[in-house]
Structure 1
Amino acid sequence: MEPKCTFASLPQMERGAAKVLGGDPKGNNFLYTNGKSVIIRNIDNPAIADIYTEHAHSVTVAKYSPSGFYIASGDVSGKLRIWDTTQKEHLMKYEYQPFGGKIKDIAWTEDSKRIAAVGEGREKFGAVFLWDTGSSVGEVAGHFKIINSVDIKQTRPYRLASGGDDKVVGFSEGPPFKFKSTSTEHSRFVNCVRFSPNGSRLVSAGADGQIILYDGKTGEKIGSLGGEKAHNGGIYAVCWSPDSSQLMSASGDKTVKLWDVGTDTVVTTFNMGADVMDQQLGCLWQKDHLLSISLSGYINYLDKNNPDRPLRVIKGHSKSIQSLTVHKNEGRTDIYSGSHDGHINFWNAETGENDEFVGKGHSNQVNKLVIDGAGQLVSCSMDDTVRFTNINSKEYSASDVVKMDAQPKCVSVAQGGLALAVCIGQLVLLKDNKKVFTLDKLVYEAEAGALHPGGTTAAVGGADGQTRLYSVQGNTLKAEDQILEGGGPITDMAYSNDGAYLAITDASKLVRLFSVADGYSVKSNFYGHHAKIVTVAWSPDNDHFATAGMDMMVYIWTVSDEDKRMKLSDAHRLHHVSSLAWIDEHTLVTTSHDACVKQWTVKF
């Protein structure tokens, strides 16, 4: 198995906290962080992504060196790693611990030889050092609280600016960098400081909605953009145009503004929406691209000619993905993914273009997704509902929600409009989007279930390691005498697409295959996982199926030969695979807690 493509996660956002977007000096890529990952994406085609996963703690900021050959990334523990961008392996060059605490911003000198890092230290809040030895080249002084932002003038003589929670903007000369002066123009936290590319100007932006302009060489105040207030809310990020004439600012007032710095006028105001999730917490100016990040994690490509409508919005997941399914229609394949925060996204499997359903959907983790015969996406969630959403309209509808008495763990579908929801303490049979039968007072704890594609039988696996069969009679479920034995608590199960086999996975690392036509006799046992297996999915060819476990492994098994298997280790590096689906017999899709969707080419 080899990687085919990765649909990357969005940045991890938090309300009231700025997000630094980095860009490569050539203007081809941009980067941001989510969890322990640094995500590098192509700016023209964001479906092309590369993910760096070597940090042991959550990464907070990453910046390219001006040479473009290296990236420096810092995490919540205060570790700063410098790694290579030219090789696929991203070999680490150096690792430093400039201070103990979260790194919030990083800046390089234009010769790519010195790095400044600032953040939440204990004794000190910043450091400047040589990239190859780590030895100090001065200090970041003048602050008595957390430093949020740092920048270094990209022309000689070098200057360093910093802004912090103490409302202070610090100005240092160097190297070695020595504290020169502070400015106390801001009345609230300073969130961002940035020198213009030509070095003539410095700006600082704060939670007070002010943008202050300074001389880049002396640090003396020149004025402020927009007078008393540049925005009606806190400003989280600013970014200069490549020619140093204009400035972009992103604010909690849900707007991004473009300023002509020379004339102190707003050239364009981009209105990003009315919802709290439309607050703007980061921005980047890369060549002709203007990017901003919303609190939702969405990345907006702004359009100067149409400020109320971005050219494109990159959507996706910023939280752990729990469920996955695939739907093919008229030559187009869509991947549907559901995450921990109730968000369902759909992706064009070929291009990576994606969007979300419209309207109010699930309010909690989406546990399972399947497509039924009527072209509906059937989803069950920890919000105690099962939803039937039309995949053509892509819109949630209030009439297609079925409220459950208990939390549904999984849902499966069969022909005839049937669906089976396995809930805590009960089984619910649905027909044509309505509850028709509930079986409760179960003598076991039901964990997973599957309807036979023909709609005749329901198999339900329990925490006791047994799978019970029920026959579907009209609108009822009737328990049959037969019990299928497993090795441990059942974790997932699936019928092959032709209904010939039932594959059951359990916590004891066993995959057991039952032959339906032979009265559910055991056909094969598959061993290989080193830890609890969490999910199983059948290939369209019905001769192969894939399983994923807590051991970070994905195996592809062959029905006709239990010794023949393919192994994919570390599919998502940091987390186990949470869900699997097949696009065709040679393409497998995986999702994980890293909020990414990956496709793999399978060659038998």
Structure 2
Amino acid sequence: MMQHISRKQPSCLRAANKQKQEHVFASLPQMERGVSKVIGGDPKGNNFLYTNGKCVIIRDINNPAKADIYTEHAHTVGVAKYSPSGFYIASGDASGKIRIWDTTQKEHLLKYEYTPISGKVKDIAWTEDSKRMAVVGEGREKFGAVFLWDTGSSVGDVSGHSKLINSVDIRQKRPYRLATGSDDTTGSFFEGPPFKFKFTLRDHTQFINCVRFSPDGSHFAMAGADGQIIVYDGGNGQRVSSLGGEKAHRGGIYALSWSSDSSQLISASGDKTVKLWDVGAGTAVTTFNMGSEVMDQQLGCLWQNEHLLSISLSGYINYLDKNNPDRPIRILKGHSKSIQCVTVHKSDGRQYIYSGSHDGHINYWDAETGENDCFSGKGHSNQVSQMVVNDTEELVTCSMDDTARYIDLNKKDYSVSDVVKMDSQPKSISAAAGGLSLAVCFGQVVLMKDKRKVFALDNLGYEPEVGVLNPSGTTAAVGGADGVISLYSVQGTTLKDAGQTLQVEGMVTDMAYSNDGAYLAVIVDKKVATAFSVADNYSVKNVFYGHHAKPVTLAWSPDNEHFATGGMDMMVYIWTVSDADKRIKLSDCHRLHHVSGLAWTDANTLVTTSHDASIKQWTITY
């Protein structure tokens, strides 16, 4: 029997190791209006932390293009904080679960896991010896807990509130003190350990969003939706002063962060400003004006060494400049919502990645440095479904807002005039030589030339899903929900039925011509990929099997010999056109979500995007 064992399997398995993750361009924090965002600071001063969905994102504060993503939570993560030793991170999710994990290893091994409260975790605090931690948030019978990090056994009682607790902090020196702030408009002061409730702080008139002890433990400050910042004595909890008199900000205050010398702090507010306070004098030294739009509300802040960071409602992370308060040193942009599509384009010798997300946002990234920005002006108002770059250096996009757009990549702005309104929602867009574009909409195929509709196919007798033009712009292939691909010849400004159809094994989910036009690759919901040879009258060149669930996206390598497919099984396969048995597998590219978009910057570098709002680059070795 031995000789019948297939020898092809091991080569596939060996190939699985031939890829390397090169870059991670991380998502922005996921923001919610009126909800503060905690940024965790690294005690060593190198990194900072925030959350998006089920991910914890760790970024290098000096080089934020360097990022790492922790993906082990089963529910949405609300907050993550470093232990004072710097060796561990504790992160808390919407189910009340706390995971304490290692920061020193790439694998981020889990050390302990607890469920101290029964609802969403809003804040976490550690004692300075990294041995005890306090967790607060929503709950059924209690809104907070304080326990030993290695056994989970209680070291006190976080009581005194009638509604959810938004914020907690622990004094970083002995004797320990603990303070909380709640939606019931009060704060509580505790002595310990074991921590015992001492008294209630009733100086605020609305929700308390943030409470923070100064690093030297001499004071703690409390800020709330009433625009007040009250400073208390860190040892006995007695009120010392209020910053800025009656009101520190015109809007609610969402976050506070102290300077390392404990003499100053910054506050982030819904009035779209961040203020830097001299705590002793009780006055604002600097006011950072962050803009005038709703998205410029400030919901989080962090003061770490010389860096002052704030987070806008847009998710943008601002590096504030004390010397120029109206202009941040840098603004980290990107996506905070799921990325739906991606394409690449080379300009001035540099490769750029273009990504479009669920909220209509388009970003462009330098593939090497991760430096990124978005176009100026008003763009799509709904999900960007697909994008391609045409031969006149325009990004051609289609969106669920029922439009196609043309964006000049040299001008980097949305033109008001270069928008084509569709009769129904477009699903796919393709471009070819001679100013041609093809949009497939619900029940309709639209041919455009020079940014204008010139022809539409209606009453098709099938539901079109995806359409592609071959690179020369002479043929349009339209794949349907019925597993039939119809070929049309492009004649001037019309589409003529070429009288040829291709049969595939299920509903077409994506397809693309190779860059030289020699092949047409098609993926279908039945987990199959097919390559047709164009010159051979579209005969089947090869059929590829491997996905365990529906493949949804496809991209050709610039070498025209390989193409990549990504599926709902979270797998990416790189196929060799001439040999269906030769394949490279990338599993778990984006741990929690399937790959939503694929593109190649060169024959050995694959870009993947996902609903985790991050972009990754992989080096592929054949």
Structure 2 length normalisation: TM-score? Answer: 0.97
The residue identity in structure 2 corresponding to 1:408 is P
Q: Which residue of 2 aligns with 1:409?
A: 427
The residue identity in structure 2 corresponding to 1:435 is K
CA distance in 2, matches of 1:456, 1:561: 28
Percentage of pairs with the same residue: 74
CA distance in 2, matches of 1:25, 1:539: 43
1:157 to 175, 194, 219: 175
The residue identity in structure 1 corresponding to 2:185 is K
CA distance in 2, matches of 1:81, 1:525: 44
The C-alpha deviation readout for 1:76-107, integer Å capped at 9, x for no partner, is 00000000000000000110000100000000
1:296 to 311, 314, 321: 314
Q: Which residue of 2 aligns with 1:178?
A: 196
Does residue 514 in structure 1 map to residue 532 in structure 2? Answer: yes
Q: Which residue of 2 aligns with 1:468?
A: 486
Structure 2: gaps of 5 or more residues: 1-18
Query: Which runs of structure 2 are paired with 1:131-280 in the superposition (5 Å)?
Result: 131-280=149-298
The residue identity in structure 2 corresponding to 1:85 is T
Q: Which residue of 2 aligns with 1:441?
A: 459
Deviation at 1:594, TM superposition (A): 0.1
CA distance in 1, matches of 2:415, 2:32: 29
Query: Which runs of structure 2 are paired with 1:281-430 in the superposition (5 Å)?
Result: 281-430=299-448
1:554 to 572, 578, 581: 572
Does residue 593 in structure 1 map to residue 611 in structure 2? Answer: yes
CA distance in 1, matches of 2:159, 2:473: 71
Partner of 2:417: helix, strand, or coil? helix
The C-alpha deviation readout for 1:442-490, integer Å capped at 9, x for no partner, is 1000000110001100000000011000000110001121110000000
Query: Which runs of structure 2 are paired with 1:45-64 in the superposition (5 Å)?
Result: 45-64=63-82
CA distance in 1, matches of 2:248, 2:28: 28
CA distance in 2, matches of 1:122, 1:562: 56
The residue identity in structure 2 corresponding to 1:484 is L
- Contact 2:342–2:386 (Cα < 8 Å) also in 1: yes
2:592 to 561, 574, 587: 574
CA distance in 2, matches of 1:168, 1:584: 58
The runs of at least 4 aligned residues of structure 1 exceeding 3 Å deviation read none
Deviation at 1:223, TM superposition (A): 1.3
CA distance in 2, matches of 1:536, 1:125: 47
The C-alpha deviation readout for 1:181-223, integer Å capped at 9, x for no partner, is 1110000000000000000001000000000010000000011
Deviation at 1:576, TM superposition (A): 0.5
Deviation at 1:141, TM superposition (A): 1.5
Q: Which residue of 1 aligns with 2:13?
A: none
The residue identity in structure 2 corresponding to 1:35 is G
Does residue 502 in structure 1 map to residue 520 in structure 2? Answer: yes
Structure 1: gaps of 5 or more residues: none
Q: Which residue of 2 aligns with 1:584?
A: 602
CA distance in 2, matches of 1:282, 1:536: 38
- Contact 2:541–2:578 (Cα < 8 Å) also in 1: no
CA distance in 2, matches of 1:99, 1:192: 19
User: Number of residues paired by the alignment?
Assistant: 604
CA distance in 1, matches of 2:340, 2:499: 33
CA distance in 2, matches of 1:73, 1:423: 43
CA distance in 2, matches of 1:545, 1:260: 59
Q: Which residue of 1 aligns with 2:14?
A: none
Deviation at 1:330, TM superposition (A): 2.3
Partner of 2:204: helix, strand, or coil? coil
Partner of 1:398: helix, strand, or coil? coil
CA distance in 1, matches of 2:34, 2:176: 31
CA distance in 2, matches of 1:193, 1:361: 39
The C-alpha deviation readout for 1:116-162, integer Å capped at 9, x for no partner, is 00000111000000000000000111111100000000011100000
CA distance in 2, matches of 1:502, 1:560: 13
Q: Which residue of 1 aligns with 2:16?
A: none
Deviation at 1:264, TM superposition (A): 1.1
The residue identity in structure 1 corresponding to 2:282 is D
CA distance in 2, matches of 1:527, 1:264: 68
Partner of 1:277: helix, strand, or coil? helix
